[in-house]
Amino acid sequence: MSKQKPMNPLEMVAYILARQIHDHEVVYIGTGLPMVAAILAKKTHAPNITLVYESGAQDPMPGGMPWSVGGPFTWRKSPMILEMAYSFGQCANGYVDRGFLGFAQIDRYGNINTHLIGGGYHDYKHRLTGSGGNNDLSSLCERMVLVGIQSPDKFVKKLDFTTSVGHLEGGDSRKKAGLVGQGPVAVVSNAAVYDFEPATKMMRIKSLHPGISKELCQMASGFEFLVPDGEIPQTEMPSPEVLDMLRNEVDPRGVFTKMPGM
Amino acid sequence: MKFSYNEQALKNLKIDDPSILDPLVDAASAREAHLKKDHARRDKRMSLKEAVGEFVKDGDILSDTGFSYVRTPEQAFFEIVRQGKKDLQIIGSPNSNQTYFIAKGVCRYSHCSYAGVEMRGTDRALSRFVKEGRTRILSEWSHGSMALGFKAAQLGVAGLFSRSLLGSDIVTHNPFVKVMQNPIAGDGQPVVFVPALYPDVAIVHVHAADKYGNGRFFGPAVNDIAIAAAARKLIVTAEEIVPEADMRYNNKGVAVPFIYADAVVELPYGGVPGSMPGCYYWSRQWWEKLCRDAMMSEEKIQEFIDYWIITSKDQYEFLDKLGGVKWMIEARRQTKCEEYDNEDDGFDYSYHEWTKANPSDTYY
């Protein structure tokens, strides 16, 4: 065995997120870990995906990790670059298979908050970025995959602000509200991968990461997860080769996968 | 009341006098402003000082343009700060540049969609400014819904019906939008009416313009084509001014017709410290230092703005602070490699990322 540094949680999450990408799909990429995952997927199991970014950039030829979703790596020799309104229009009109987004808070129905934390709209503790394209992707993409770090104050019973709607109040409430697409189909955290139970649309543990028990996973959440019947499988981990690729070719500067202070 | 705003949003945002919202959606006055412009093909060149002095007025709704710091007229924005304009409303998707306006009392109102420097961090200064009442948020948006508002203005329609925002708290914190039923869907289908949005003034930074104001750019257009058409007043800043014939023979990428333009400013490096496709890369460390250090306290943000904006007379002094000629050549090479216009086999993309633990004195 090589003397490989142990995997950090961000690298693990980036890999698991990459596994959610299917070859030949058109995928809409938010900033951060989704960019890492998409580029890793393109270099491994999904070489034929087409990447779309909200600045209007899309279909770049392979290159390095963008510093921004408007950066040249997102439109490197693109045949065509769009305007923002047309880019989101592609989602609404069914040309985008899967969108990838981060969040600051998530609830059991996959609704997302990126606006503010703590207190009310005027007496918040922290104001965050706001929606950006988060609401539009959640509202318009066919399937959403959501990624974030798991803790009881991030996986919450009630969001401090609903920036983006996933399955709203569960059941068919998303569709009734007028939103298109299937909504969130997966959530990836540093503890587990989740899907949504088809009838209630509540978040359900799909696989647990190595070393994480069902109980531990549940303790790191402010709401209760559904669990599948039978034994919960373990999440597949990257091979040493893929981890090397992630470190050396995908995000060599550790822009998104370096742990703070490491 | 002239307009019938979303009452719940007015209440949630605590807007007592909604007349402050009117100009953004007042299509009639925008049409009037466009009619009153000099429609003749005239040489509109002037200095940045003159353009900002004449066309950016206290209380105007200013549109952020480009993509946060990609082809964004940063140097023109800095001139607005230097001239000490007051009470601006700032709108944009993204709206990442409002902080330095607010810190200097230039921007009082925000139509907010996104603030921050992506994964480098959220805008801690904005978080304080809103709480302290130094800026008021007049409306919350998503990028896509605001993009439709600008697009509606460009198309000359009263508004568009969006399928974003439904079910979210944004729709209850935006006085301009309303949930309605799609009138031809038999079983009723909720949609969000987004009115056409008309900023008072926009500055669009382009690669090349002619003296009349025809403007050409490449890279992500974001919302600039729509905003240029919508704004009551338009300043075109350009990396270079080319003969009119050049616009006619090389018309691919011409996105701004001269009839929109009120002023044309030759402004090489007008996008620094942001990036300009084909011309220069970001000063990444500048943005990292801004959001990881300067935004953290009032003292630091004031010091940062004083050093970079107030005491830089123009983009040349700013460039000297960034690193001068060496910076300019490196920034050009960096973007050309990333765009693959230069061979990047063997090019070292690494840089010293600015962190608190490991600060940097350079600005690449």
pLDDT tens digits for range A55-66? 999 999 988 888
CA distance A72 to chain B (A): 5
**What is the C-alpha separation between B41 and B355, in angstroms, rounded?**
50
pLDDT digits (tens, 9 = 90+) for A67-85: 888 999 999 999 999 999 9
Q: Does A2 have pLDDT greater than 70?
A: no
Which residues on A lie below 8 Å from B127 (Cβ)?
124, 126-128
B166 with A131: Cβ contact below 8 A: no
Q: Where are the domains of chain B?
A: 19-159+198-364
**Is residue A1's pLDDT more than 60?**
no
ipTM (interface pTM): 0.96
Residue A259's pLDDT is 75
pLDDT value of position B173: 98
Within a domain: A115? yes
A contacts of B190 (beta carbons < 8 Å): 177-178
| Residue whose C-alpha is closest to residue B349's, from A158, A198, A248 | A248
pLDDT band of residue A262 (cuts 50, 70, 90) is very low
Is A208 inside any structural domain? Answer: yes
Q: What is the pLDDT of residue A146?
A: 97
Partner-chain contact B338 A77, CB within 8 Å: no
Best B71, B154, B187, B222 residue to mutate vs chain A (most A CBs within 10 Å): B222
Cα B200 from Cα A218, distance rounded (Å)? 52
- Alpha-carbon dihedral of residues B46, B50, B54, B60, nearest 10 degrees? 110
Q: Sort out which chain B residues have CB atoms less than 8 A from A252's CB and list them.
A: 349-350
pLDDT of the residue at B196: 98
**Mean pLDDT lowest for which of A173-177, B109-113, B114-118?**
B114-118
Confidence of residue B307 (pLDDT cuts 50, 70, 90): very high
* Residue of chain A whose alpha carbon sits nearest to that of B118: A31
Which of B164, B277, B353 has the CB atom closest to A139's CB atom? B164
User: What pLDDT score was predicted for residue A170?
Assistant: 98
Min Cα–Cα distance to chain B from A215, Å? 31
Give tens-digit pLDDT for A201-245: 999 999 999 999 999 999 999 999 999 999 999 999 999 999 999
- For residue A37, the domain's CATH number is 3.40.1080.10
pLDDT digits (tens, 9 = 90+) for B349-359: 888 889 898 89
Rg (CA), chain A: 18
Q: State the smallest CA–CA distance between residue B342 and chain A in angstroms.
A: 12
Question: Residue A261 above 60 pLDDT?
Answer: no
Residue of A nearest to B129 (CA): A127
Residues from chain B that touch A62, judged by Cβ atoms under 8 A, are none
pLDDT tier at B360, thresholds 50, 70, 90: confident
What's the whole-number mean pLDDT along residues A72-99? Answer: 96
pLDDT of residue B236: 98
Residue A17 domain flag: yes
For chain A, how many structural domains are there in total?
A: 1
ω into residue B273 within 30 of 0, thus cis?
Answer: yes
Chain A residues in contact with B219 by the CB 8 A cut-off are: 70, 72, 75, 81
Q: What is the pLDDT of residue A253?
A: 80
Query: What is d(CA B56, CA B79) in angstroms, rounded to the nearest whole number?
Result: 10
CA torsion angle for A174, A177, A181, A183 (degrees, to 10)? -30
Structure confidence at residue B1 (pLDDT): 54
- pLDDT tens column, B237-246: 999 999 999 9
d(CA B223, CA B143): 10
If you average pLDDT over residues B98-113, what whole number do you get?
A: 96
**Using alpha carbons only, how large is chain B's radius of gyration in Å?**
21
Dump pLDDT digits (tens) for B260-279.
999 999 999 999 999 999 99
In a domain, A261, yes or no: no
Domain of A134? 9-250
pLDDT score for B273: 98
In the structure, what pLDDT confidence band is assigned to residue A254 with cuts at 50, 70 and 90? confident
Return the amino acid letter for A42.
K
Q: Does domain B19-159+198-364 have CATH number 3.40.1080.10?
A: yes
Is A54 in the active site?
yes
Alpha-carbon distance of A17 to B319, in angstroms, equals: 40
Q: Catalytic pick from A11, A54, A169, A249?
A: A54
The count of C-alpha atoms lying within 13 angstroms of the C-alpha of A49, restricted to the half-sphere facing its C-beta, is: 28
Average confidence score pLDDT of chain A: 94
Tell me which residue in A115, A129, A135 faces B164 most closely, judged by beta carbons: A135
Summarize the confidence of residues B310-331 as an average pLDDT: 97
CB contact under 8 A, B338 and A136: no
pTM > 0.80: yes
What pLDDT was estimated at residue A131?
A: 96
Band the pLDDT of B211: cuts 50, 70, 90.
very high
Least Cα separation, residue A226 to chain B (angstroms):
24
What distance in Å separates residue A129's CA from the closest CA in chain B? 5
Residues B70, A71: C-beta atoms closer than 8 Å: yes
Query: Across all residues in chain B, what is the average pLDDT?
Result: 96
Q: Give Dmax over CA atoms of chain B in angstroms.
A: 65
Q: Is there a contact between B169 and A127 if contact means CB atoms under 8 Å apart?
A: no
Cross-chain Cβ contact A178/B190 below 8 Å: yes
Q: What percent of chain A has pLDDT over 90?
A: 87
A81 with A75: CB under 8 angstroms?
yes
Asked if the structure places residue A257 within a domain, the reply is no
Q: Helix, strand or coil for residue A216?
A: helix
In the DSSP assignment, the letter for residue B102 is H
Mean pLDDT within A12-19:
96
